[in-house]
Chains A and B, each alone.
Chain A
Amino acid sequence: MDKFKSMLTKPWMSYLVALLAMGGAALTVSVVPRSLFAFLFFIGSVLLVYYLPLSTKAKLFFVLIGTLVLMPIIGSFNLYYMNVATQVGIYVALALGLNIVVGFAGLLDLGYVAFYATGAYIYAIFASDQAGNFIHFAKFPLAGEWFWVFLPLSLLAAGITGILLGLPALRLRGDYLAIVTLGFGEIIRIIFNNLDKPVNITNGPKGITPIQPPALFGFTLNKPIYYYFIVMGIVFFVIFVTRRLEHSRIGRAWAAIREDEVAARAMGIPLLRTKLMAFAIGASFAGMMGVVFAAKQTFIDPSSFTFMESIGVLAMVILGGMGSIPGAIVGATAVVMLQSQVLKSFSEFLAQLRDSGILNIPTQLEPAKFERLVFGLILVVMMIFRPQGLIPAKRREMELLEEKADRPAKGEES
């Protein structure tokens, strides 16, 4: 990468490379329908622009053109890419949120999806007739315009949930935190699953449907392209906030806590408050995305918010690199593609083989049902061979390599 960078001696060369990459990617995506690689090429070109020696403004320009102009145009005549991009966008925001907790502050949160569920349920209950079961002075479902109110509202609600959970949990040692958050994630799911009595709030395992799509000035936004723009808007908001946080006072405090809690404390960093901040901010991103998820799906039930979902987001962060913003984006893209595209098409391929009688594989061995194995392998292999992730954060990489170097020689014990 550096070698390549040094070849770009003049600024116009960088612009040319960026133009070529973005243009080429856009062309490929628009020519090839439903291709995984074309989509990856597109994401790759955005990433390339990120690494080019250009001014921030120029980079921003290229990225905005790519995501807000090219992609919607391509997507409007090829819905496949639009849906994949929206899906990826949702998980990018989730991964960035979890990245603050796991990557920046070094706290392992295994119940992250609970906050996502909180946001989704808050919107779903009020944007369907569910709320009518316990609130009688207003008419439900609320109009689609309320979507915009619920975005910040659920951001706040999820943040507060994060603080309430964090207050007891963050006093504990790090490894207990993982288990407590895991337990909390399960509790939330069980509660949503059973809160159809005595008062029917969540409609239990049957789930809530239909949920109002968002609307703006009486105009209903229920087409994929509108969701794409909403998701992108949130993703840019989240990226902006995360970038600003990373090197801020609080961001440096997180890094200090992550590296050495005792030393950080000695330097006067209030441990609980700083950790709570990470927890609440990460949670609030998930809460906000939950609203979009509920609106986009128009149906939610507790089975969308299982432990697997939390582990999936964790796998994205780990794969991309803990504490790395571009890493979280790449990780989210890779895992979503793997989950919703690669495994599925592999299953379809095997099903074809079965139908044509070439190979007889029982349906329960379909690769699409082996997500756990894939996530598990990602986690173990990354931890052993590349704990800093695919696109490491500079500081985090140094930390991890330093720890490795400090390790005593084989056979000795610390």
Chain B
Amino acid sequence: MSATAERILTTTRARVIAVERETHDTFTLTVAPADGAAFEPFQPGQFSMLYVFGVGELPISISGDPAEAERLVYTVRSVGQATHALVSRKPGELIGVRGPFGTSWPVKEARGKDVLIVAGGIGLAPLRPVVYHVLRNRDDYVRLILLYGARSPRDLLYRKQLAEWGRAPDTQVLVTVDYGGLSWRGHVGVVTTLFRQLRLHPAETAAFICGPEIMMRYVIRMLEARGLAPQDIHLSMERNMKCGAGFCGHCQMGPYFVCKDGPVFSYRQMQPWLDVHEL
């Protein structure tokens, strides 16, 4: 086996430091290296393969601060046996980590521009590292605009941080829910309805989108209607992944392997494949 393949396929043991409840079904795990060696640095948008010993391995986006190399943070929605097992880990227990894998949000190329983030549901998790990066390197960017939609108020991730980010200079955070009760006094409507409150400078904006694929398609239509070019729109795709490194072909999408060539793609790359049925 080549050294590269060995590195890709070798699981590193990590110790769970904390498991925090974000919503009724979503949790944030923080892990640290269990064997002394540091984790490989990651870029915003990359993911790891997390192994719950005896249960299974899952691709999970890294949702923490890229500048904090001594630990890795993952936000996981408990929707099946493996994710339930993952979020049920207790501090001190071990899991396996492979990666980081995949492409990243082009934060360097976005320097000097407005950064527009559009997230839906748990799609905010892979974009949180971008927010950390922009806020940490504030002078490199102009405006930071975050549009975030969730199913209901109880499904909103990182509520405290959303409020904090909204108070940062030159930062606009607009949050909406599809349905709200009487106690919710914020915006109600799908995430695309937030665009009416925006003034975009299309030639000076880099847009990063993550959420359900249908949502991303509608967001792209709104962005194109406002003059953004396909190369300035980036999205994170999801497909079933197994190896995480382009060996197995489970996540093939047209000519791409989402795990290796993605998960972050420019819309220019994805344009021919987004509307293809059963791809």
The answer to whether A and B come from one shared complex is no
Write the residues of chain B forming the contact surface with A, with a CB cutoff of 8 angstroms: none
